[in-house]
A and B are shown apart, each in its own frame.
Chain A
Amino acid sequence: MIENAPALIVILPLIAAPVNLIIGLWRKDLCYLFTVATLSACVLLSVDVLVTVISNGVITYKLGGWAPPWGIAYFIDHLNAFMLIIVSFISLVVSVYSKKSIEKELPDKVVHFYTVFLLLVSGLLGILITGDVFNLYVFLEIASIAGYALIAIGDDRAPLASFNYVIMGTIGACFYLLGVGYLYISTGSLNMADLSELLPGMYNSRVVIGAFAFLMVGVAIKMAFFPLHKWLPDAYTHAPSTVSAFVASTMTKVGAYVMIRIMFTVFKPYFSIELIPASAILGWLAVAAMLFGCIRAIAQSDVKRMLSYIIIAEVGYIVMGLSVGNRMGFTGAVLHILNDAVMMSCLFLSAGSIEYKTGTRSVHNFAQLYKKMPLTMAAFTIGGLSIVGIPPTCGFFSKWYLVLGALESQQWVFAATLLISSLLTAVIFFKVLVNVYFGSQSSADFESSSGHGTVVMDEAPLSMLLPTGIMAIGVLTLGFFSGKIISNVIQFTVPGGF
């Protein structure tokens, strides 16, 4: 294992961003290759870290040589390593996809796009790897500000959507900072492992309960959990297609990771589930999120907006898995983080390819699109089947564990809602896929590159097709390997109280 891998994973994109800016002043074409090279190195380092954690146990890395609690310590266990691989791999795939898409949508901002993209990746990787609550705030803000800038360079309505996101995201981050402040003044430490030892004596004090409330609300805003989700559909719809694909699959999942850390590592499961009814509140809000997301998604005609509402429902699934408080539910939630990241990236990448080739995003114009772009529509179909939860795609396995977890803790309403929302997603994708495969030709309205009456196959370019294909294959194979993933990685992430 490379000795300094934990630091290098975060530092490589962080130092690559300004170097990319200088390279871009000299020659613009090198930016893409430099970004892909940096992110490949990050993926290799994440694989190295995961292998080390599986074989040796927890890794500790002291930044600056200072021991905690005076210094910042990176404390990598199975959950961290698992999520590092997800985010770095998806960032590599999306950056390979981005070449043609960015050249078409943002031709004069290529250099700055790659710089801010590398900063966003660095911020997300930093959130996942750190073991210090204030360091998490710093990386959270790096990722958020880069996200605001990337979303704002989209189409017509993008600046207004990004402004909405700025206001709400700042409120969320400030509430998180308030929670950290209250924790600091009651314990005097900022290290997560240290806090988890100092806090159990103070679980009855109002300051600590107030800190928990502020932290939860702040993280809920960042991950678009039900009542605080308003910024998500506008922001993800009007962003450029590459940016949508990346943030849709990673940012909300990273928010869910922060919630897991706060609920189960900093505060023990005894506090979050038994002492205060946090899990009950979260569970009922998750039910509302699932129903609301699926029902709103049925009514949309813009494919990206429809997928954004499905994200709100997926976040509901994950939080419901966390709130039932038993082993099955937690396993389902963590497995669903992985599956949702892969499914959403597959769907958004194919929606971006469709927009690149046909110029339209409205599902009414998708008639007979399978003749023009068969491979992309195959990837879209696989992603849709996975969201519904049809075996052997990966979505089935995580929903299986979630339903088992809900039944085990006798929450019949949660399990019933899970099944009802699966049916609703089936309605959504049925509507789209029937139009694609069996729709009538006269309602089609896309630009076709051939002038004849018949439609010629005109797939997206290879640099866009390959990432979509990899993600679709991933959706299928992750289903087969679910058992191995759970037995090797996920079962060690379940916190001790379950």
Chain B
Amino acid sequence: MIKDSEGVIIKTVCRLITPIIQLYALYVIAHGHYSPGGGFQGGCILAASFILMVLAYDIKEVKKRMSEKLNTVLCSLGVIIFAGIGLLCLILGANYLDYGILHKILPVDPAHARSLGILGVEIGVGFTVMAVMVSIFLNIASGGKHEEEGETS
């Protein structure tokens, strides 16, 4: 049962810190192909920012910003971005997930195009992981009853 927490300090600090956490998560995603980081790690941190808001406020408050429909769309969008970039390489004439061929549509040389291709799929992975983590948490915290008030059985 996650009720509204009383303290003003908790609410204010969480409100201030959440954008910083999300910025850090985007930093981790953007550096995944070049240094430590990546899609899965960044996606988890993005999800952690939403879970922090749930712990500070009520589930219903967070559901106003991240409804189940938006979650579903984001989850599908991430997988479509990943598989879509692979299909794009297939359409342009190379094997599946052969990012080097992307230099035909992007103004860089093939080696650079591989690097940008991996960045693209990492962004897709980040979306999906965030959506799935938030959805797991919201489902378990509300005991499976998404539509009603968040009560455990």
Give A contacts to B, CB under 8 Å.
4, 7-8, 11, 14-15, 17-19, 21-22, 25, 61-65
Contacts and interface: CB of A to CB of B under 8 A. Distances in A.
Given A21-B75, A22-B73, A15 B87 contact: yes
A64 B98 contact: yes
A21 B76 contact: yes
A25 B69 contact: yes
A22 B71 CA distance: 11
A142 to B, nearest CB: 12
Contact of A64 (B72, B84, B97): B97
A18 B95 contact: no
Given A63-B95, A65-B95, A65-B98, A22 B90 contact: no
B79 interface: yes
B46 to A, nearest CB: 19
B24 interface: no
B27 interface: no
A22 B96 CA distance: 24
B21 interface: no
A490 to B, nearest CB: 29
Interface centre among B75, B94, B97, by most chain A C-beta atoms within 10 angstroms, is: B97
Chain A contact residues, majority secondary structure: helix
Interface string B96-111: 1111100000000000
B79 A17 contact: yes
Contacts of A4: 90, 95-96
B80 interface: yes
Contacts of A18: 75-80
A68 to B, nearest CB: 13
A21 B72 contact: yes
B80 A64 contact: no
B95 A64 contact: yes
Nearest to A119: B79
A11 B80 contact: no
A63 B96 contact: yes
Given A61-B95, A62-B95, A14 B83 contact: yes
A25 B87 contact: no
Given A7-B90, A11-B83, A11-B87, A19 B96 contact: no
27 contacts: A4-B96, A7-B95, A7-B96, A8-B90, A11-B83, A11-B90, A11-B96, A14-B79, A15-B79, A15-B80, A15-B83, A17-B79, A18-B75, A18-B76, A18-B77, A18-B80, A19-B76, A21-B72, A21-B75, A21-B76, A22-B76, A25-B69, A25-B72, A61-B95, A63-B96, A63-B97, A64-B96
Nearest to A21: B76
A18 B77 CA distance: 7
Contacts of B72: 21-22, 25
Contacts of B73: 22, 25
Interface centre among A25, A61, A65, by most chain B C-beta atoms within 10 angstroms, is: A65
Contacts of B100: 65
Nearest to A7: B96
Nearest to A14: B83
Contacts of A11: 83, 86-87, 90, 96
Contacts of A7: 86, 90, 95-96
Contacts of B98: 64-65
A311 B73 CA distance: 39
A242 B76 CA distance: 25
Contacts of B96: 4, 7, 11, 63-64
